A and B are shown apart, each in its own frame.
Chain A
Amino acid sequence: MTALCIKNLVKTYDNDVHALRGINLDVNEGDFFALLGPNGAGKSTAIGIISSLVNKTSGTVTVFGHDLDTDIVGVKSCIGLVPQEFNFNGFEPIFNTITNVAGYNGIPPREARKRAEHYLKRLDLWDKRRSTGRELSGGMKRRLMIARALVHEPKMLILDEPTAGVDIEIRRSMWEYLTEINSENGTSIILTTHYLEEAESLCRNVAIIDRGEIIENGSVADLLSQAMQETFILNLYEPVTEAPTIEPFKVRLCSEPNQLEVDVPKGHSVSDMFQALQSKGVVVGSLRNKSNRLEEFFLRLVNQSNKDSQ
């Protein structure tokens, strides 16, 4: 079943800003989907429309078969939203924040309290249940919003940059938890993020949006296979004074004398590169990716889109 179906979605704000210019998007049930794009691309507007916080100009949005125009209650019942900005009552104990949202979703008080306990414990917030929202750290606030979004056990969870400003340890634990609810509960997840490593690690499918248009849409694996090259930083046993020439690889010197930067073009393996370097007397101790492949692909697409629009 299609979890989310967007057809010709247009949003023009009162100040004549065209945030969305007729986007089409399908997300399958159980998918872990990334919506990527630079700032101001239209990601948050799209999410705002799906979750009823933004009025659309035209187009249709269907969530698990419920049409946003004719069955908004059905749409909202299926969605849990973790927005980009903190949007809870900072003066209320967080336990009440969760039980209130459960109540808004029709969950009776006793069951609401049980679920609040479950999700606060699961997100390591149970000890803080009597604290008010404003007393929490940034990471705790993010986790509170995830607990709140899950309390009515939605079929689809939408997260708008959920790990922004969160330290690495908490980010990793949030990734694990999101993967768990996606695989175990079958919850469809739509994620926007600036950490492309996050999208590459977590998501199966991805859409790239820029200037209100979807410029790429497909599986992460397919998109990565389109990446033209990968760049590695090599740590050498012995320093070199100049970069060796090894076609078809491009080799550059780094600021550190015992490091080289090598572009490995699509269709060539790392082993080929090692052999070529060895033939020039260069011995590699270790290597690492210079940048995330999806990030490179993303930047290439967005730059191309910018050129096309000029």
Chain B
Amino acid sequence: MSYWQLQLTAFLTIVRKEIRRFTRIWIQTITPPAVNALLYMLIFGGLIGSRIREVNGVAYMDFLVPGIIMMGIITNSYGNVVSSFFGSKLQKYVEELLVSPVSNATILAGYVTGGVARGIAVGSIVSLVALFFIDLKPVYPMATLCIAVLTSVMFSLGGLINAVYAKTFDECSIVPNFVLAPLTYLGGIFYSIDMLPPIAQKLSLFNPVLYMINGFRYGILGVSDIPLWQSFAVVFAFIAILGTIAMVLLNRGVGIKT
């Protein structure tokens, strides 16, 4: 067996394990984002949105849906990796991987792919829910898919870094609750940054989530506050930075070796 065959088999095993994990507990992992999305669309899109004419030249419900889908992708990609990797640390079964001839790059790729699988699964289900409200036909399907997958990769990497450092369940929820949620809600899900005062517009440009939501919105609707290339540039830059940090942490054995 060659080195690469071994790593490929190990990678597919981790991915299968991760997918099996979140599908086994689908009531906790898949259903809540779909219910949340339905409520957002009913309340913000249907009830409140009906009083808003158009945003960026499209109906408010159409404007809202890409943001809601992306919110599901972001939170679930992050949440999947942070909970799964932290769980493996807590119960010590991460040691199954550490004593096996699996490279750290394979471990990282496996967990991130698991996070992407859940992010995209949730994104797809939220998209199905959205079909009850709008005619969802992406203008640029490839761009839509690419930005969704890359965003999912980025937040899966973030989840892994969080899990490496976390020592308690509280430390797993600090970033999602106090960093990720504000950035996501202030990232232009519900509004265009054109609607903000100039200073808030400038501050919003420092929010990386803004670029992802707008990139995704551009793929679906063909309208965005941010040029598409900027969205891709920001996502790639964050993937490079977070990926490097995650590899360094795994290579040093931070949080998993003594």
A interface, CB within 8 angstroms of B: 13, 48, 51-55, 72-74, 76-77, 79, 81, 83, 85-90, 96-97, 99-109, 148, 152
24 intermolecular pairs with C-beta atoms under 8 Å apart: A13-B258, A51-B99, A52-B98, A53-B98, A54-B258, A55-B258, A76-B99, A76-B100, A77-B101, A79-B99, A85-B92, A87-B96, A96-B20, A100-B17, A100-B96, A101-B96, A103-B10, A103-B12, A103-B13, A103-B14, A104-B14, A104-B96, A105-B10, A105-B100
Whether A48 contacts B12 in the complex (CB less than 8 A), given A79-B99, A104-B102, A105-B6, comes out as: no
Interface positions, chain B 1-37, Cβ under 8 Å from A, are 1, 3, 5-7, 9-10, 12-14, 16-17, 20
Tell whether, in the assembled complex, residue B13 and residue A83 are in contact, meaning their CB atoms are under 8 Å apart.
Answer: no
Closest 7 CB pairs of A and B: A103-B13, A106-B6, A104-B100, A87-B92, A76-B101, A73-B101, A89-B93
- Cα distance A213–B153 when bound, in Å? 47
User: In the complex, how many angstroms separate the beta carbon of A214 from the nearest chain B beta carbon?
Assistant: 21
Other A-B contacts than A89-B91, A105-B6, 20 sampled, CB-CB below 8 A, are A51-B99, A53-B98, A53-B99, A54-B258, A55-B253, A55-B257, A73-B6, A73-B101, A74-B101, A81-B99, A83-B95, A88-B96, A89-B87, A96-B20, A103-B13, A104-B10, A105-B10, A106-B10, A148-B96, A152-B100
A134 (CB) vs chain B CBs: closest residue: B91
Residues in A neighbouring B99, C-beta threshold 8 A = 51-53, 76, 79, 81
Residues in B neighbouring A100, C-beta threshold 8 A = 13, 17, 96
- Cα distance A55–B101 when bound, in Å? 16
A54 (CB) vs chain B CBs: closest residue: B258
B13 (CB) vs chain A CBs: closest residue: A103
Interface positions, chain B 72-111, Cβ under 8 Å from A, are 87-88, 91-93, 95-103
- Cα distance A304–B102 when bound, in Å? 43
Q: Which of A13, A73, A96, A99 has the most CB of B within 10 A?
A: A73
Residues in B neighbouring A148, C-beta threshold 8 A = 96
Residues in A neighbouring B87, C-beta threshold 8 A = 89
User: In the complex, how many angstroms separate the beta carbon of A179 from the nearest chain B beta carbon?
Assistant: 24
- Cα distance A76–B257 when bound, in Å? 15
User: In the complex, how many angstroms separate the beta carbon of A176 from the nearest chain B beta carbon?
Assistant: 25
Residues in A neighbouring B12, C-beta threshold 8 A = 103
- Cα distance A72–B253 when bound, in Å? 14
B25 (CB) vs chain A CBs: closest residue: A91
Q: Which of B7, B17, B97 has the most CB of A within 10 A?
A: B17
Residues in B neighbouring A102, C-beta threshold 8 A = 13
Please tell me which one of the listed residues A73, A86, A90, A96 contacts residue B17 in the complex, with CB atoms under 8 A apart: A96
Residues in A neighbouring B97, C-beta threshold 8 A = 104
Residues in A neighbouring B17, C-beta threshold 8 A = 96, 100
Q: Which of B7, B87, B103, B258 has the most CB of A within 10 A?
A: B258
User: In the complex, how many angstroms separate the beta carbon of B76 from the nearest chain A beta carbon?
Assistant: 19
Tell whether, in the assembled complex, residue B101 and residue A105 are in contact, meaning their CB atoms are under 8 Å apart.
Answer: yes
User: In the complex, how many angstroms separate the beta carbon of A58 from the nearest chain B beta carbon?
Assistant: 16
User: In the complex, how many angstroms separate the beta carbon of B25 from the nearest chain A beta carbon?
Assistant: 9
Residues in A neighbouring B88, C-beta threshold 8 A = 89
Tell whether, in the assembled complex, residue A73 and residue B103 are in contact, meaning their CB atoms are under 8 Å apart.
Answer: yes
Residues in B neighbouring A86, C-beta threshold 8 A = 92
- Cα distance A106–B87 when bound, in Å? 23
- Cα distance A99–B20 when bound, in Å? 13
Residues in B neighbouring A109, C-beta threshold 8 A = 13
User: In the complex, how many angstroms separate the beta carbon of B88 from the nearest chain A beta carbon?
Assistant: 7
Residues in B neighbouring A152, C-beta threshold 8 A = 100
- Cα distance A99–B96 when bound, in Å? 12
User: In the complex, how many angstroms separate the beta carbon of A141 from the nearest chain B beta carbon?
Assistant: 12
Residues in A neighbouring B100, C-beta threshold 8 A = 76, 101, 104-105, 152
User: In the complex, how many angstroms separate the beta carbon of A211 from the nearest chain B beta carbon?
Assistant: 19
Interface positions, chain B 39-78, Cβ under 8 Å from A, are none
